[in-house]
Amino acid sequence: MDPNRAHLRAVRRVRLWLAFTALALTVLAGVGLGLGAAHISGEQLAYSGPQAAVCLPQHLNASDLLPHTSVAVSPLPGSRDASPETQISFLGVPARKLLHITVFGSITGSHSGRLERYSQGDGGSFVLSRPFHPGERVTVRGSVRTGHRLRSFSYHFFVAYPDPIPPPSATPSKTPPAGSVQSFRSAPGLEPPTIEVLRQSPRQAPGDIFLAPYLGPGSTGPAIVNQQGQLIWMDPLKGAMRATNLQLETYEGKPVLTWWQGYIPKQGFGLGEEIVANDSYEPILHLEAGNGELADLHDFHLEPDHTAVLTIFHTIHCNLTSVDGPRDAAVTDASFQELDVRTGLVRREWTSLDHVALDESYSSPMNSSTAWPFDFFHINTVDPRPSGTTLISSRNTSALWLLNTRTGQVIEKIGGKRSSVTMLPGSRTAFQHDAMTLPSGDISIFDNGGTPFDRSFSHTHSRGVVVEVSATRHTDRLVREFDHSPPLKAGSQGDVELLPDGNWFVGWGQEPYFAEYNAEGKLIYEARMSVPRGYETQSYRTYKFPWNARPHWPPAIVTEPAGSGLTVYVSWNGATGVRSWEVIGGTSSSHMRLLAHARSAGFQTILHVRDQPYLQAVALDRAGKLIGRSRLVKG
């Protein structure tokens, strides 16, 4: 895979997005923007600017269904946080039943556009020929055919004043300290962190470890290592680019890798895109967020019906005096989009500002500004469930939010302020991540326990937990708990994964550890990434999956003189089926003979041969079958 391709696409996307929003801000506000370095945490700074925009909806937690219809729309009627480049989404009936749609902006006037159908056949997006103006009221009118009846509708929403946060600049690279990274003569561009295995057991589940290290020495990017910590594959990113959330999913019945990559400003969210690659590591999809936004790093899922769910952090101007914040400030409107993968259309967009009150947050708005928007919600997991509900984890409210998927309305709040269920002893989480519904109906959560804003319910350490939320008793009960010894306190990130054999895998996020527990909760495997002084090596999530792959590029070969012969270094970045290597050589490509054979020694294997005019490395599988050839090199 060419790592530059996704990098250039993301750069172009960021530049176009910034150009438009910067122009709007110049005209409307003249606000200066601060640059940041890549980081997941930071302190809020004071700021005062001229714009005091209203961003709260006319009615909190309203339904997105048009009255007397089964059509869900976004932007939400009465909302004040729409993007100037928004589509107008209609979900719930075939597009042919949506008629006579007109769109009028109070500043920009009548808008032409076309209704583009979702490939699932259950709606369409009205895609406009030009964007809206920040601050204007938009009126949408049309009709829905229901049976033999034509039902008219009319509603409005307001366009937000964008407050774009620019991507960070690249920091100068430093020479990695000795022993902190893995290095390979045959793959000099790869320097993943050294992984120290602290504990192993025969009871470990099969599989390889998926992570995306950053903020450490050496390479940053998506990576797969085996259970001994040896590299299998890495796609190194350049400059300030980062990756998160590497995982194994299914697309069109086949296993695929998915991950987010882009830029992470110091405000703690992502500006990038989602990558989907096949088992040869060829990118088959570059999924970008819709409505003029950039994909956030926190969550992404492919669904069976050719839809995908991803998170968005939309920063907009907002008057925060209702929660004792500044009049001239901004807010981070954490949200998620459901995309039609085949068309790229936005089927729905759910925003936290429309459904959750600002005072639910444990974050303080007091010193928020346009440089540091009030991050009141901070979404980090979106879990659509077969029951017709969607589970959301919100870090900065220390709560899980259960939505009616069809209407978008919050129907239950688990934890945080004013929980709608009784939190039984041990079940309360603090600034948690990665809430996922298990086959049993229980919920697994990585409970950070860290309290960046409020210490009133601080835990002494981070932990993985499984809780049972009872609909009949209206309680949240702790079912199981995964602790680390000695205790760790991850201020951010982390995940809990139920493995197919009943074991559990926990990534400790900001702390560079990952571990496996058996079904009884006993620690049976543990490893850590090397973190030399002055670095903060971490991986947002760490997973364990079975993985088989054969790269679409050839094996690598590098030779060095060694006495009267040559030392040959061979590797094949990403290959999982190599069991042995051969080096062949001769006077030409048509006159080659076997010079050396060796069992695979991990990512890189070293062989010694007599000098020959031409050399080539051959990769063999378990049965001794040829599965790959390097290029022909001169001896």
Q: Which helix (H) or strand (E) holds 8?
A: helix 3-28
> What is the pLDDT at residue 309?
98
Tell me whether the omega of the peptide bond preceding residue 486 falls within 30 degrees of 0, making it cis.
yes
Range ranked top by mean pLDDT from 141-150, 169-178, 253-262? 253-262
Q: Which of 116, 104, 113 is CA-nearest to residue 154?
A: 104
> What is the pLDDT at residue 592?
94
Specify burial of residue 37 (Cβ count, 10 A radius: 0-12, 13-18, 19+).
Answer: middle
pLDDT per position as a tens digit, 505-536: 999 999 999 999 999 999 999 999 999 999 99
> What is the pLDDT at residue 31?
33
Torsion of CA 131, 132, 138, 144, to 10 degrees: 0
Q: How many CA atoms lie within 13 A of 545 on its CB side?
A: 21
422-423 and 379-384 as β-strands: parallel, antiparallel, unpaired?
unpaired
In which band, very low, low, confident or very high, does the pLDDT at 38 lie, cut at 50, 70 and 90?
A: very low
Tell me whether the omega of the peptide bond preceding residue 512 falls within 30 degrees of 0, making it cis.
no
Dihedral pair phi/psi, residue 583, rounded to 5°: -115, 125
Single-letter code of the amino acid located at 29: A
Mean pLDDT, residues 310-321 taken together = 97
475-482 and 422-423 as β-strands: parallel, antiparallel, unpaired?
parallel
pLDDT per position as a tens digit, 566-616: 999 999 999 999 999 999 999 988 899 999 999 999 999 999 999 999 999
> What is the pLDDT at residue 23?
35
111: how many CB neighbours lie within 10 A of its CB?
18
pLDDT per position as a tens digit, 262-273: 999 999 999 999
In angstroms, the CA 366 to CA 44 distance is 9
> What is the pLDDT at residue 408?
98
Mean pLDDT, residues 155-165 taken together = 96
Question: Look-up: residue for tokens 């172009």?
Answer: 12
pLDDT per position as a tens digit, 364-374: 999 999 999 99
- The full set of domains in the chain, from first to last, is 72-158 (2.60.40.3780), 195-545 (2.120.10.30), 556-634 (2.60.40.10)
**Beta bridge partners of residue 529, listed in sequence order:** 195
Between CA 156 and CA 388, with CA 296 as vertex, the angle to 5 degrees is 60
Quick one: DSSP state of residue 609? E
Among the ranges given (41-45, 211-215, 421-425), the one the predictor scored with the smallest mean pLDDT = 41-45
Mean pLDDT, residues 330-351 taken together = 98
Q: Which of 565, 484, 462, 496 is CA-nearest to residue 528?
A: 484
Q: SS3 of 15, please?
A: helix
In angstroms, the CA 392 to CA 245 distance is 17
Q: Is the dihedral of CA 465, 469, 475, 479 positive or negative?
A: negative
Single-letter code of the amino acid located at 151: R
Dihedral pair phi/psi, residue 139, rounded to 5°: -110, 130
Long-range CB contacts (within 8 A, 24+) of 282-286: 282/1, 282/552, 283/1, 283/5, 283/6, 284/251, 284/256, 285/251, 285/341, 286/6, 286/9
364: how many CB neighbours lie within 10 A of its CB?
15
> What is the pLDDT at residue 397?
97
- What single string gives the DSSP state of each residue in 445-457? EEE----SS--TT
> What is the pLDDT at residue 632?
96
Are the C-beta atoms of residues 307 and 300 closer than 8 Å to each other? no
pLDDT per position as a tens digit, 278-301: 999 999 999 999 999 999 999 999
Mean pLDDT, residues 242-266 taken together = 97
pLDDT at 90 over 50: yes
